[in-house]
Structure 1
Amino acid sequence: MKSTVRTSPNLNDADTEVGVDSFPETAPFLDRLEHFTWAWFVLPMTTGGLSLLLSPQIQPHSFRGLETIGKVVYIWDLFLFAAVTLCITYRFICFRGTFISSLTHPTESLFAATPLLSLATIIAGIARHGIPNCGEWLIVAYRILFWSYYLVSFIAAVGLYFLLFTSPSLKINDMTPAWDLPIFPFMLSGTIAACGAGHQPPDQAVPMIVAGMTAQGLGMMISVLIYANYIHRMIQYGFPRPESRAGMFIAVGPPSFTSLALIGMTNDFPSTYRIYFGGTDDAAVEIMKATATMIAILIWSLSFWFFCISVLACIAASHEMRFRLNWYAFIFPNVGFTIATISIGKNLQSTGVGWVGSVMTVMLVVTYLLVGFHHVRAFIRRDILCEGRDEDTYWGELHHKALRADRSGTDCHN
């Protein structure tokens, strides 16, 4: 299939919507798939996270039908993942050069890790929705999937950052929490371990937990390093532009998923397997659980701070925000935030915290439906999947502000 003509994004003219006016208004869907970027995987990624949140094992207050709802959402997630994979495969096959350019592009490449994030929620969903209803074979399959994912996500974490560091095009004034995405899949190995280790035999569960803790620790430490640049960027240049502010919620994710992974893995540590602690009683495991809960609360507070800052920043610019795929950051990082809150409440045996988690769950479901509505509307109105409108175009934060100011001044003058 012949590729449509497109103009390469100029890093010096960063926010100009390249070639939007030249893109045919009647362009068929298959032609529009040239701009089907990695960022579309945030849709199955978010849906999978929601299916985890809606499982009875997570929720502090269950009701008849909740398990069915969670399974339906999980099946919907599988369909979305297959559909998105099919569309992006079509893009790479039919539009030559788009695969390499997607991995080297300064902004689209940041989202190249989202397919693995989608897989992480699918694998974790097996533990919540599949293993309780299947036989021993699925427990073994889960173990194989965990170690395979662990290896692939680590290679991706190293490789994607290597590509970013090899030909640096991003500037510190363009910094957003999306720079943290390449390490996210490896970090979520800890979440996968937290979901499935409890189903494994002790001699298999312990290595899984130790590996998951290692991945979670690396992901959290790299996130902290990126946070330093993020805060420096906001102190010097202010908040990101309105279209990028939804992505601020990505910063809520790493501390949240680390908190829930710490609690999940320590709660599932086999009480009959003490070789790692050298003891002969349950004291070491109980101490580990108490320590993990306290550390989880400490880390959770960072998520709460980022959440509050992000909410205020989005409210302040709500009249200027238009839909982009980063709106799904309203949901996925906050899924981790909600599960972490519920997990802390369960370990502290706090009814009040449990109800807070239930209210947060309802709010996330409503937000998912609203974002989905805006997603469909943006597609119909050609606000996405169109030349110059997607993540395969480079946007510069400061240039965007200057361009807006110039346009505003020109309009007022006229």
Structure 2
Amino acid sequence: MAPRSRTQSSSYDPEATKVEPQTQSQVKSVPFLDRLEHFTWAWFTLPMATGGMALLLAPQTQPHTFTGLETIGKVVYIWDLFLFTAVTLCITYRFVRFPGTLVASLTHPTESLFAATPLLSLASIIAAIARYGVPSAGTWLIVTYRILFWVYFVVSFVAAVGLYFLLFTSPALKLSDMSPAWDLPIFPFMLSGTIASAGAALQPPVQAVPMIVAGLTAQGLGMMISILMYSNYIHRMIQYGFPSPQSRAGMFIAVGPPSFTSLALIGMANDFPAAYRAYFGAPETTVQIMRVMATATAVFIWSLSLWFFCITVLACLAARTQMHFHLNWWAFVFPNVGFTIATISIGKMFDSPAVGWVGSAMTILLVITYLAVGWQHARAFVRRDILSQGKDEDTYWGERDHKTEKSLERAGTGEGVIVRP
């Protein structure tokens, strides 16, 4: 059966993902603008990671600073704004130039999982306003931050409900395909807590408390949905083993929810205004209770991030010779940004210099990782290993299909095999 173009159908068709292999000359002859037909939502993982690095490098975040660190952070933040704009323009061009691809991207079993990444990119952009914008601007930006928070809170909740509704309406994924990427649709709403923890301290008390309560609500829902997803994820690994090598970088996504929940809890507890209603006695008592509870809960949850981090590192090392760049490699950075900031926040709460130095070392490693993944991204783009037919998230490759393909190849047959890039 001949492959059908995605522009001919706005709904997911498994037969449409069976693509014929292209010769090297055919691949090289495709113009850049035509390659944008395969510019998927997953490209927003690049500004996601960059915005996370801007937050991590902020002097307010780091336990150890030096002259020029804030300037470096601002440069990274400006770079993030440029990347977000460029990626938005490219994906808009795809949807306009190739009719039907917007709906197809939202109903595709794997590409649709990344449809929430634009909101994730915006979360880091908004949170970084509190770090780099507000100190250099007037009170108008504090009001703007508050408005952006509430708009983001509503939009991300609608997106979380809508994207999961689409996934549940026409289920195409199987438990054998389970990966932490299934958690991405709830991730933006969960990061409302991170946005609240970054900017609530800048708000008047009467505005800060509702922001903190809303942030706690969002963080709680996101963490609970993540736990439900974790049960399926662990079930999948017990029954089928680790994901295929090209999917293992995405395993780091599981590190994110506990990490961002930990840092958000500590941040919101620290931001709770002392001069406000005495919910639990004297205002000082309220703040103390919240900080103790937040710190204890953060440590409790952070341990889950540590476990997922160690498992993922071992899984990636075991398959290192088989791993080739995919956009999910940016999961090496963004979830671990939350893991690093959470570690630093816990160290600050316990006034531990040792944990602070661990956080600084983790920051240096993440900077190196960001540069390394960026190099691999540029290399894959030039070599057309991405942004090419059959090589992006708009093609569905089931995890078990990969094993079936390998077994058929060993058996000397190619019948019924879905061709892989």
Partner of 1:378: 380
Partner of 2:187: 184
Structure number with greater CO (CA < 8 Å, separation at least 6) is 1
Within 5 Å, give how 1:3-22 maps onto structure 2: 11=14, 18-21=20-23
Call closer, same or farther: CA 1:40–1:149 in 2, change over 3 Å.
same
Determine which of 295, 298, 311 is the counterpart of 1:296.
298
CA distance in 1, matches of 2:374, 2:147: 33
Determine which of 108, 111, 114 is the counterpart of 2:111.
108
Partner of 1:64: 67
Within 5 Å, give how 1:269-284 maps onto structure 2: 269-275=272-278, 277-284=279-286
Call closer, same or farther: CA 1:17–1:367 in 2, change over 3 Å.
farther
2:304 is matched by which residue type in structure 1?
L
How many residue pairs get aligned? The number is 406
Determine which of 166, 175, 189 is the counterpart of 1:163.
166
1:374 is matched by which residue type in structure 2?
Q
Within 5 Å, give how 1:114-125 maps onto structure 2: 114-125=117-128
Q: Answer whether contact 1:20 1:388 (CA < 8 A) is retained.
A: no
Q: Name the SS for the 1:270 alignment partner.
A: coil
Identity %: 70
Within 5 Å, give how 1:20-169 maps onto structure 2: 20-21=22-23, 24-169=27-172
CA-CA distance at 1:284 after TM superposition: 2.0
User: Residues 272-325 of structure 1, C-alpha deviation per residue, up to 9 Å, x if partnerless?
Assistant: 1124x1523411210110111010000000000000000000000000000000
Partner of 2:417: none
2:182 is matched by which residue type in structure 1?
W
CA-CA distance at 1:5 after TM superposition: 5.0
Does 1:329 find its partner at 2:320?
no
CA distance in 2, matches of 1:194, 1:280: 23
CA distance in 2, matches of 1:189, 1:410: 52
Does 1:242 find its partner at 2:209?
no
2:255 is matched by which residue type in structure 1?
V
Q: Name the SS for the 2:412 alignment partner.
A: helix
Partner of 2:416: none
CA distance in 1, matches of 2:30, 2:249: 29
Call closer, same or farther: CA 1:97–1:311 in 2, change over 3 Å.
same
Which structure 2 segments of 5+ residues have no match? Answer: 414-421
Partner of 1:404: 406
Q: Alpha carbon RMSD of aligned pairs, Å?
A: 1.7
Does 1:387 find its partner at 2:389?
yes
CA-CA distance at 1:402 after TM superposition: 1.3
CA-CA distance at 1:141 after TM superposition: 0.2
TM-score (structure 2 length as normaliser): 0.94
User: Residues 223-249 of structure 1, C-alpha deviation per residue, up to 9 Å, x if partnerless?
Assistant: 000000000000000000000000000
CA-CA distance at 1:18 after TM superposition: 4.7
Q: Answer whether contact 1:120 1:188 (CA < 8 A) is retained.
A: yes
Which structure 1 segments of 5+ residues have no match? Answer: none
Does 1:312 find its partner at 2:314?
yes
TM-score (structure 1 length as normaliser): 0.95
Q: Answer whether contact 1:18 1:387 (CA < 8 A) is retained.
A: no
CA-CA distance at 1:24 after TM superposition: 4.0
